[in-house]
A and B are shown apart, each in its own frame.
Chain A
Amino acid sequence: MARYRYPKIPESEVTPEPLYRARRKFLRQSAGLAVAAAAPGLLIKPAAAWQGGLDAVPESDLSTDESLTSLDDITSYNNFYELGTRKRDPSDWAHQLQTDPWTLSIEGEVNKPGKLDLDDVIRPDELEERIYRLRCVEAWSMVIPWVGFELRKLLERHEPTSRAKYVVFESIYDPDNLRGQRRDIIDWPYREGLRMDEAMHPLTLLAVGLYGKPMPNQNGAPIRLVVPWKYGFKSIKSIVRIRLQEEQPMSAWEEKSPEEYGFYANVNPHVDHPRWSQARERRIGESGRRETLMFNGYEDEVAHLYEGMDLEKYF
Chain B
Amino acid sequence: MFNKKTAINAFRLLVLVACAGPALWLGWAWTQAELGANPAEAVVHFTGRFGLGLLLATIALGPAFRLTGWVGFMAARRQMGLWAFVWLCGHALAWMGLDQYWDWPWIWQDLWGLEYVRYGVAGLLLLVPLVLTSFRAAQQAMGKVAWQWLHRLVYVSATLGVAHFWILTRADYRDVTLFAIVLAALVAFRLGCVAVDRRW
Q: Count A-B contacts at CB 8 Å.
A: 52
B101 at interface, CB cutoff 8 A: yes
Chain A min CB distance to B164 (Å): 12
Chain A min CB distance to B32 (Å): 14
Residue of A nearest to B171 (CB): A185
Residue pair A85, B37 in contact (C-beta under 8 Å)? no
Given contacts A81-B172, A138-B170, A275-B170, 18 further A-B contacts (CB under 8 A): A72-B37, A73-B37, A76-B37, A77-B36, A85-B172, A186-B171, A272-B113, A274-B114, A275-B116, A277-B109, A277-B114, A282-B99, A284-B38, A285-B37, A288-B101, A289-B101, A289-B103, A289-B106
A88 at interface, CB cutoff 8 A: yes
13 contacts between A and B (CB under 8 A): A72-B37, A77-B37, A85-B171, A87-B38, A183-B172, A274-B114, A274-B115, A275-B168, A277-B110, A277-B114, A282-B38, A282-B99, A284-B38
Contacts of A88 in B (CB 8 A): 36
Whole-angstrom CA separation of A182 from B40 in the bound complex: 30
Q: Mark B110-132, 1 if CB is under 8 A from A, else 0.
A: 10011110000000000000000
Residue of A nearest to B173 (CB): A185
Residue of B nearest to A137 (CB): B170
User: Which B residues are closer than 8 A to A by beta carbons?
Assistant: 36-38, 40-41, 99-101, 103, 106, 109-110, 113-116, 167-168, 170-172, 174
Residue of B nearest to A86 (CB): B172
Residues 263 to 277 of chain A near chain B (Cβ within 8 Å) = 272, 274-277
Residue of A nearest to B106 (CB): A280
Contacts of B40 in A (CB 8 A): 282
Residue of B nearest to A69 (CB): B37
Residue pair A76, B172 in contact (C-beta under 8 Å)? no
Residue of B nearest to A289 (CB): B101
The 5 A-B pairs at the shortest CB distance, nearest first, are namely: A77-B37, A85-B172, A73-B37, A185-B171, A284-B37
Which of A85, A186, A284 counts the most B-chain CB atoms under 10 A from its CB? A85
Contacts of A73 in B (CB 8 A): 37
Q: Mark A283-305, 1 if CB is under 8 A from B, else 0.
A: 01101110000000000000000
Contacts of A274 in B (CB 8 A): 114-115
Residues 65 to 85 of chain A near chain B (Cβ within 8 Å) = 72-73, 76-77, 81, 85
Residue pair B172, A185 in contact (C-beta under 8 Å)? yes
A256 at interface, CB cutoff 8 A: yes
